[in-house]
């Protein structure tokens, strides 16, 4: 029986209703504060993030190529959206998302989904670390009941004044908001350390926001609360006359391409991570890309935030026992029901609490373990690519950082420019698959290589021969390490033979 059949994908999405129902509640509780917080970090009203979460759950969940991945507003796009809305206004975001969605759908239709897996992990993690730093820097000001400034350097420059302006003896709105934000952060971090085993699925962000809201309401603190409309339909802004006019500006077109590229990369990398968490159906990357395109097109038409597949909500879905796409769809239904029936409750949540949630979320993106791993495993160049991407994302802008990182990645091809071809020979029998690589294994040939490797059935022993492999760049090496680890985790024996320097790097991860 296939994996899809064993997980109910072929027998219907209701085959595991009780487990999917429970998982959907957990994902809903994780998603609610993140949808609103990411919207605020993006410089738009919180209900825009909720609309994106609803579309990501109900629509994208129905058509996704990664059934257990959860889509919604993502921290990875918050900085780009904030800068865009600051410069062009919220009304210009809709047409940009419509175009970005069309680009994503077209890329999926042309079967380009696998290409995004060839992006250097140094660029991806450097980009995410830079985004995380910018979120922390921006939300630092929200903790003080103030608005973030328009750029990373401006926010950094204003941070000392915020701290020096505190008056502990005069508990005004600023001091109280900071206390509420720190309470949220403290509960989130503390819950991770003391959480009982039986409550492992209760999200710390939810507890932090609930506690902060109760304190604010109980003491009637005069601090800023979030503002949501009485009806979620009132937050939907349908296209009107001249809707596509902003696309006549070249800078707006570039923003649409950037959103499509970054959203697609984050989605497909997240999908690959989700695949490593469960034994169910593997991701159809092109189908996932088409579903994301439809989702972002609808978000643009509704005047909401862009979406991606998001790893935090997706991992919560898998850990909570989600088995089919029903858990993702239902979480969108719960968001819709909550904001439709209880908008007054959302208006009691203090802004500083959501700022605290985003500070923790952003800090987790700034993971130095990635750059340490790159340096110790592959040397100075990948670490330098990470650092350059990170610094430029923080000090200049997201697009400059990513493009610079991609350009620096091309430097790895220089030693092999005379022979970038990679030959893949396969031989299969009833007991073993023999795969031999000859030539230079670089990101140029990675998509084709991984597609060939993933077609090898699980359960059959594999012998991977690298004797004729002249070199392997860090992007290919990382993907190969993941492939080896995944097969060995499933109980499949993999024997790797070849030059010692390649075996050492691959064996370290296995």
pLDDT given for residue 8 in this prediction:
39
Distance of CA 202 to the CA centre of its chain: 21
The helix (H) or strand (E) run that includes residue 436 is strand 432-441
User: What is each CA distance from 322 to 17, 152, 462, in whole angstroms?
Assistant: 9, 38, 31
Largest CA distance in the chain: 78
Q: Are strands 422-428 and 308-310 parallel, antiparallel or unpaired?
A: unpaired
- 422-509 topology per CATH: Transcription Regulator spoIIAA (3.30.750)
Taking only the tens of pLDDT, the chain with its 510 residues reads 344 444 334 457 888 898 899 999 999 998 999 999 999 989 999 999 999 999 999 999 999 999 999 999 988 898 899 989 999 999 999 999 999 999 999 999 999 988 887 888 899 889 888 988 998 999 999 999 988 887 788 889 999 998 988 887 777 788 999 999 999 999 999 998 988 877 877 888 999 999 999 999 999 999 999 888 888 888 888 998 889 999 999 999 999 999 999 999 889 888 887 887 777 788 899 999 999 999 999 999 999 999 999 888 898 899 888 999 999 999 999 999 999 999 999 999 999 999 999 899 889 888 888 899 999 988 899 999 999 999 999 998 888 898 899 999 988 888 767 677 899 999 988 788 999 999 999 998 998 898 888 888 877 789 999 999 988 889 999 889 888 888 887 778 889 999 988 888 886 444
Euclidean distance between CA atoms 152 and 28, whole angstroms: 31
Q: Give SS3 for 1.
A: coil
Euclidean distance between CA atoms 322 and 330, whole angstroms: 11
Q: Give SS3 for 383.
A: helix
pLDDT given for residue 11 in this prediction:
58
Euclidean distance between CA atoms 507 and 481, whole angstroms: 8
pLDDT given for residue 507 in this prediction:
67
Q: Give SS3 for 426.
A: strand
CB atoms inside a 10 Å sphere around CB 380 = 10
Q: Are strands 70-72 and 461-472 parallel, antiparallel or unpaired?
A: unpaired
All structural domains of the chain with their residue ranges: 15-351, 366-415, 422-509
What token pair was written down for 153?
């350097």
pLDDT given for residue 2 in this prediction:
43
The DSSP result for 250-318, as a single string, is HHHHHHHHHHHHHHHHHHHHHHHHHHTT-SSPPP-HHHHHHHHHHHHHHHHHHT----EEEHHHHHHHH
**If DSSP states are collapsed to H, E and C, what string results for 444-479?**
CCHHHHHHHHHCCCCCCEEEEEEEEEEEECHHHHHH
Rg (CA), the chain: 23
């Amino acid at each position: 029986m296939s994996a899809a059949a064993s997980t109910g994908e072929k027998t219907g999405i209701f085959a595991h209703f009780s487990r999917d129902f429970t998982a959907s509640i957990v994902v809903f509780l994780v998603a609610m504060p993140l949808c609103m917080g990411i919207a605020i970090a993006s410089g738009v009203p919180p209900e825009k993030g909720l609309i994106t979460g609803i579309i990501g759950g109900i629509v994208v969940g129905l058509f996704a190529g990664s059934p257990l991945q959860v889509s919604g507003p993502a921290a990875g796009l918050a900085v780009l959206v904030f800068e865009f809305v600051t410069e062009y206004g919220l009304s210009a975001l809709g047409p940009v998302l419509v175009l970005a969605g069309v680009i994503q759908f077209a890329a999926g239709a042309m079967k380009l989904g696998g290409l995004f897996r060839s992006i250097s992990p140094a660029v991806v993690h450097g980009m995410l670390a830079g985004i995380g730093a910018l979120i922390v820097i921006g939300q630092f000001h929200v903790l003080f009941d103030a608005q973030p400034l328009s750029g990373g350097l401006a926010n950094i420059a204003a941070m000392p004044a915020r701290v020096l302006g505190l008056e502990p003896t005069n508990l005004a709105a600023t001091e109280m908001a900071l206390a509420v934000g720190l309470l949220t952060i403290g509960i989130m971090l503390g819950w991770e350390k003391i959480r009982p085993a039986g409550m492992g699925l209760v999200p710390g962000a939810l507890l932090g926001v609930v506690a902060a809201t109760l304190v604010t309401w109980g003491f009637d603190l005069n601090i800023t609360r979030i503002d949501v409309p009485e009806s979620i339909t009132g937050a939907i802004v349908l296209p009107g006359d001249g809707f596509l006019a902003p696309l006549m500006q070249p800078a707006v077109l570039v923003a649409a391409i950037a959103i499509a590229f970054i959203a697609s990369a984050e989605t497909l990398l997240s999908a690959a991570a989700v695949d490593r968490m469960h034994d169910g159906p593997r991701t159809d990357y092109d189908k996932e890309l088409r579903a994301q395109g439809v989702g972002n097109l609808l978000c643009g038409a509704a005047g909401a935030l862009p979406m991606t597949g998001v790893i935090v909500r997706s991992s919560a879905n898998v850990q909570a026992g989600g088995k089919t796409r029903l858990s993702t769809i239902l979480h969108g239904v719960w968001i819709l029901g909550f904001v439709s029936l209880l908008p007054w409750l959302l208006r009691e949540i203090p802004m500083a609490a959501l700022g605290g949630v985003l500070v923790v979320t952003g800090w987790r993106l700034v993971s130095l373990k990635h750059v340490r791993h790159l340096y110790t495993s592959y040397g100075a160049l990948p670490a330098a690519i990470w650092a350059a991407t990170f610094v430029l994302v923080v000090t200049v802008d997201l697009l400059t950082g990513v493009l610079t990182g991609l350009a620096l990645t091309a430097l790895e091809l220089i030693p092999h420019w005379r022979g970038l071809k990679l030959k893949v020979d396969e031989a299969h029998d009833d007991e073993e698959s023999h795969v031999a690589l000859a030539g230079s294994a670089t990101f140029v040939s990675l998509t084709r290589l991984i597609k060939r490797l993933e077609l090898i059935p699980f359960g059959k022993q594999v012998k991977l021969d690298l004797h004729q492999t002249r070199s392997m760049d860090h992007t290919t090496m990382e993907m190969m390490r993941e492939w080896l680890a995944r097969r060995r985790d499933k109980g499949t024996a993999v024997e790797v033979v070849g030059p010692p320097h390649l075996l050492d790097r691959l064996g370290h991860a296995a």
